[in-house]
Amino acid sequence: MSAKDSVVLSDMKPGSRGKVVRISAKGPLRRRILDMGLVSGVEINVKGVAPLGDPMEILVRGYSLSLRKQEAAEIHVEVM
């Protein structure tokens, strides 16, 4: 786990890309994140942020997924 150059997804800017390294969420949120295909190694692409600043939208496995920043903060990403 390359903790030093990994950031949390919620801090990533629209247009940036990265690779998921770790999910720190627990319980149902963790289950949901994994089910939606956000497992370690998968590439993601930040598409944008909702008008009120939250949630954010990402592209993963070719589809669009939105999550709250609070949830995205549990996803650790290695920026590419």
Q: Which residues bind other proteins (CB under 8 A)?
A: 17, 23, 28-37, 39-42, 45, 47-55, 57, 59, 61-68, 70-71
- Closer residue to other proteins in complex, CB, 19/55: 55
Query: Three-state secondary structure along the chain?
Result: CCHHHEEEHHHCCCCCEEEEEEECCCHHHHHHHHHCCCCCCCEEEEEEECCCCCCEEEEECCEEEEECHHHHCCEEEEEC
- Closer residue to other proteins in complex, CB, 7/55: 55
- Closer residue to other proteins in complex, CB, 5/63: 63
CB of 60 to other proteins, least distance (A): 8
CB of 49 to other proteins, least distance (A): 8
Beta partners for residue 57, in sequence order: 48, 66
